[in-house]
């Protein structure tokens, strides 16, 4: 594991730094890029914010100057500069940054990862992280404020507040650790407008997303005496309701909130035959092992994986190990 001081040294020694995050970018990874990008530039570094996907419109407020570039349209710009370092935020899996990962590898750009997801397999010297951190934003805060000793602008402070607020679902999932509240308080002291962040992250749902939530809550089914709740979202519905990937993201949390439910699953056919699975646990059972069984991963209580093929068949395969978990002993507190 790369120490935070070693990471800080690598950053100090790199003039041109490329920042990226996983495909299907979320508030944590994007908030980290916004915060680090501005902070690095203020210290004289050249920065490129390069994404595997376009920036979702919901996060346009993190990019008022249009600096986030999808690789599909920014390849030439990326190739015009010799990058000393690429820093990947909110994942440690090269496959999760898709084309950006292939491009970095092809160019031989030294690449380091800053992440808070549990790492499977052998120890990694190119990753700095801790799965005790509730968001990558907490790690970035430590890196910038404590290790680099650099100031955070009001914009960067807000972006880190977005990271933590997003991954904890507005400070709900803090796992009884005071750290996220302490960092959140520190960011508020630096002038963050928490109401503005709340509006952008949690109170700007498009109507189509609200309608989808109604559909999901109506159509969800229950197994294992109500402990397992699931819903299958067919591509037909995605087309009919003109849903975007971000619209499909957090309906799983609302199913999980139903009394008696311990594990919730949504299977979303984002393109014909292309199924994205979100798994959540209320806290008694860990579910990232099941996600890993199907090539995915994530946190103990929030994980995901993908299938290709038929929705019902995917659920058949997934429901067996989930039912098995629920018939066993509780695994986490």
Minimum CB distance to Mn ion smaller for 169 or for 319: 169
Near Mn ion in 174-213, by CB under 5 A: none
Q: Report, in angstroms and rounded to the nearest whole number, the Rg of the chain calculated over CA atoms.
A: 20
| Spatial distance between the Cα atoms of 282 and 118, rounded to a whole number of angstroms | 18
CB of 25 to Mn ion, least distance (A): 10
Near Mn ion in 141-180, by CB under 5 A: 167
Minimum CB distance to Mn ion smaller for 30 or for 71: 30
| Spatial distance between the Cα atoms of 160 and 300, rounded to a whole number of angstroms | 23
Minimum CB distance to Mn ion smaller for 160 or for 229: 160
Rule CB under 5 A: choose which of 8, 14, 90, 96 binds Mn ion: 90
Minimum CB distance to Mn ion smaller for 27 or for 37: 27
Stretch of 28-36, 142-150, 199-207, 216-224 contacting Mn ion, by CB under 5 A: 28-36
DSSP 8-state class, residue 144: I
Total residues at interface with Mn ion (CB under 5 A): 4
Give the per-residue contact string, 128-147, with Mn ion (x = CB under 5 A; - = no). --------x-----------
Near Mn ion in 268-297, by CB under 5 A: none
**Closest C-alpha among 257, 258, 261, 233 to residue 247:** 233
| Spatial distance between the Cα atoms of 315 and 324, rounded to a whole number of angstroms | 14
CB of 149 to Mn ion, least distance (A): 25
Q: In what order do the strands lie in the sheet with 274-281?
A: 221-223, 228-233, 263-271, 274-281, 302-308, 297-298
Q: Which residues contact 329 (CB under 8 A, 6 or more apart)?
A: none
CB of 116 to Mn ion, least distance (A): 6
Stretch of 7-15, 65-73, 83-91, 218-226 contacting Mn ion, by CB under 5 A: 83-91
Minimum CB distance to Mn ion smaller for 14 or for 163: 163
Helices (H), the chain: 4-12, 27-42, 71-79, 98-107, 136-141, 154-167, 179-189, 194-202, 207-219, 235-240, 251-256, 288-293, 311-327
28 binds Mn ion (CB under 5 A): yes
DSSP 8-state class, residue 146: I
Nearest residue to Mn ion, by Cβ distance, number only: 28
Applying CB under 5 A, the residues found at the interface with Mn ion are 28, 90, 136, 167
């Amino acid at each position: 594991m790369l120490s935070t001081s070693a990471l800080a040294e690598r950053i100090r020694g790199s003039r041109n730094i490329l920042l990226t995050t996983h495909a299907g970018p979320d508030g944590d990874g994007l908030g980290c890029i916004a915060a680090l990008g501005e902070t690095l530039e203020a210290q004289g570094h050249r920065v490129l914010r390069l994404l595997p996907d376009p920036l979702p419109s919901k996060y346009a407020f993190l990019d008022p100057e249009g600096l986030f570039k999808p690789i599909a349209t920014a390849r030439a710009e990326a190739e015009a500069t010799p990058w000393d370092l690429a820093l990947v935020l909110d994942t440690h899996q090269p496959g999760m940054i898709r084309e950006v990962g292939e491009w970095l590898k092809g160019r031989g750009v030294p690449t380091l990862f800053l992440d808070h997801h549990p790492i499977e397999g052998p120890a990694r010297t190119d990753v700095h992280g801790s799965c005790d951190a509730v968001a990558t934003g907490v790690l970035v805060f430590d890196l910038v404020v404590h290790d680099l000793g650099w100031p955070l602008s009001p914009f960067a402070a807000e972006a880190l507040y977005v990271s933590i607020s997003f991954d904890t679902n507005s400070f709900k999932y803090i796992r009884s650790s005071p750290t996220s509240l302490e960092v959140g308080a520190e960011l508020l002291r630096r002038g963050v407008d928490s109401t503005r962040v709340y509006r952008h992250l949690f109170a700007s749902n498009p109507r189509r997303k609200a309608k989808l939530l109604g559909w999901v809550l109506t159509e969800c089914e229950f197994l294992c005496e109500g402990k397992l709740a699931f819903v299958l979202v067919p591509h037909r519905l995605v087309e009919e309701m003109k849903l975007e990937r971000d619209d499909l993201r957090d309906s799983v949390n609302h199913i999980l909130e139903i009394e008696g439910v311990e594990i919730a699953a949504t299977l979303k056919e984002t393109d014909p035959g292309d199924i994205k699975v979100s798994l959540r646990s209320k806290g008694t059972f860990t579910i990232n092992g099941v996600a890993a069984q199907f090539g995915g991963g994530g946190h103990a209580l929030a994980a995901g994986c993908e299938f290709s093929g038929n929705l019902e068949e995917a659920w058949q395969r997934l429901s067996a190990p989930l039912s098995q978990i629920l018939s066993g002993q509780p695994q986490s507190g």
